[in-house]
A and B are shown apart, each in its own frame.
Chain A
Amino acid sequence: MGPGIIEVFLQYWPLFLNGLIGTLKYAFIAVLFGSMLGIVVAIINMSKNKIVSTIGSIYVNVLRGTPLLVQMYIAYFFIPMAVPALSFLSKEQCVILSLILNSSAYVSEIFRSGINAVDKGQTEAARSLGMSASHTMQKIILPQAVKNILPALANEYIAMIKETSLAGTFMLYELMYTRTLLANKFLVWQPLFIIAGIYLVVTMVLSALVRAMEKRLSVSD
C-alpha cells in the first residue's frame, strides 16, 4: 500500500501545483486561441454562400465528432510530416495546436448559437432604420449575444481543463502528468486520488463562478 494520500500530497504538493498551473495554462491557451479561430469559423459557418458554409460545418463536425485523443495523436505524429510549413513546431506545440483546433470547433458553435439566440426583430429594427449590416452586427447583435456567449465560453474553459489531461499522454507537464512522475517513485494509487480531488475542486469552484456571472448578466433582461 505504501504511504497514505495526505502524506503523499504533503510531500509532493509542489509537483501537483506545477501540474495544475500547466493544466490551467494549456486550457487557457486552447480557449483563447480557439476563440479567435472560432470567431472566424463561426463567420464561415453563417455564410450565405452554401459552399463556404459547408466547408465550415465539415470542419466543425470532424473536430467534434472524433475523440480529442485521436486528434492529438494525429497532430503529434503527422502535422510536422504532412504540413512542412509547420515543421518548426515542437511536439509539444503540435499537441497544443490540436487543443486549439478542437476548442475552435466548440467555440464557433458557441458564437453561432449566441448570435442566433438574439431576437430576429433586433436585426429587422436596425436594418429598417437604415443601419448597415456590419453596424447592426457590431452595435446591436454582438453586444446582446455576449450575454449568451460569455458563460458558455467559461464553461468551455472548464471542459478544456478536463480535456487537457490527455496531453499528459504526450509528456506535456499538466496535472495528469504528475501521475507519471510519481509512478516512477512507486506511488501508483495515491496520486490518482489527489489528481481527481484537485480537478473536482477546481471545476466546482469555476462552475460556481460561472453561475454567479450568469446571474449578473441576466439582471439586464
Chain B
Amino acid sequence: MTDEMKLIIEVVDLQKNFGDLKVLKGINEKIYKGEVVSIIGPSGGGKSTFLRCLNMLEIPDGGHVYFEGEELDANSTDLDQHRQKIGMVFQLFNVFPHLTVLDNITITPILEKKIPKEQAEKEAMELLETVGLSDKAKEYPRKLSGGQKQRLAIVRAMAMHPDVMLFDEPTSALDPEMVKGVLEVIQNLAESGMTCVIVTHEMGFARKISDRVLFIDDGIIAESGTPEELFDHPKNPRTQEFLSQVL
C-alpha cells in the first residue's frame, strides 16, 4: 500500500442528536493521508456537527470515529493526545485574547508537549513568517484584523504538528477583502501534503483544491465525489438544487 492510502479518519454509522433533533443520521466516511476533502451543503444540514464529532467536541450518540486506527472515546484520557494530532480552525477564530500572538502559539506545545520555551518560540516565529505575521508576534490579538486572527489560529494549530486539519467555515466571518489571504494559507497547507477537511461556502475554492467533495444534507452524506463529478455532473436532485442556488 502506498503512503497515499494510509487511513487517517474513519467514521462508521455516526449519529448525533440534540434533544429530539436528529442532526447526524448515520454517516460513513474514510479520509486518507494527504487528502483534501471539502464539505458543502445547506445551513443546518449538520456539517459543523460532523466536523466537531471528528475531535469529540461533540460527543456522538451512536457509531464510531477512528483516528489513525484507534477509536476516539470522549471519556478516555488518551483523547487529549489524539486531539493534539487533529488541528481545528473555527469560524470565529477563537484566538486567546489575553495572550500575545506568540504565546497563543506556544502555550499548548509548552504545556502539553513539554517543548522548551526557546524552541517553541523559534518554531512559532517560523510559522508566523509563513503567514506574514512575524511583525505581530508581541502584539495582542485585539490589534489584529479578522484575517490576521484566522491566520494566527491556523498556525496555532499547526504548531502542534497535527496529522489532519479541520476547518469549519474559516472565511465566513471575514470581510470580503480578508478572504483571499486566508484561503491562500489553507491552499499552501493543502499543497504541502497536509490532510485537510474543510467545511466551506467558497465553491470556487472547494473545486480548486479538493480531491473529494462531500455534500451533507439533512444529516447524511447525500452525495460525494471528485469536484468535477459533484459540481459539473451532480446526480442527486438535492445537490443539483443546492448548487443552483449557490453557484
A binding-site residues for B, Cβ under 8 Å: 119, 121-122, 124-132, 135, 139-140, 143-144, 220-221
Contact = CB atoms under 8 A, between A and B. Distances in A.
Contacts, number: 66
B108 A220 contact: no
Interface string B109-139: 0011000000000000000000000000000
A122 B94 contact: yes
B96 A130 contact: no
A125 B150 CA distance: 12
A130 B94 contact: no
A130 B81 contact: yes
Contact of B90 (A125, A130, A220, A221): A125
B55 A132 contact: no
Nearest to B107: A139
Contacts of B90: 121, 124-125
Counting from the closest, the 3 A-B pairs by CB-CB distance are A130-B84, A125-B94, A121-B94
Nearest to B57: A124
B80 A130 contact: yes
B157 to A, nearest CB: 7
Interface string B49-78: 000000101000000000000000000000
B114 to A, nearest CB: 12
A119 B94 contact: yes
A128 B56 CA distance: 9
Interface string B81-104: 111111110101011111000000
A128 B55 CA distance: 7
Contacts of A140: 96
Interface residues of B, number: 28
23 contacts: A124-B90, A125-B88, A125-B90, A125-B94, A125-B95, A125-B96, A126-B108, A127-B80, A127-B83, A128-B87, A128-B88, A129-B112, A129-B157, A130-B81, A130-B83, A130-B108, A131-B111, A131-B112, A132-B111, A135-B111, A139-B107, A139-B111, A221-B142
Interface of B: 55, 57, 80-88, 90, 92, 94-98, 107-108, 111-112, 140, 142, 153, 156-157, 160
A126 B111 CA distance: 11
Contacts of A131: 80, 107-108, 111-112
A58 to B, nearest CB: 27
Contacts of B107: 131, 139
A200 B160 CA distance: 55
Contact of B80 (A122, A132, A139, A144): A132
Given A128-B86, A221-B142, 9 more contacts: A121-B92, A125-B94, A127-B83, A129-B108, A130-B82, A130-B160, A131-B108, A135-B111, A144-B98
Contacts of B96: 122, 125-126, 140
B86 to A, nearest CB: 7
Contacts of B86: 128
Nearest to B104: A125
A208 to B, nearest CB: 26
Contacts of B160: 129-130
B149 to A, nearest CB: 11
A217 to B, nearest CB: 11
B231 to A, nearest CB: 30
B112 A132 contact: yes
Contacts of B81: 130
A105 to B, nearest CB: 28
Contact of A129 (B140, B142, B156): B156
A62 to B, nearest CB: 32
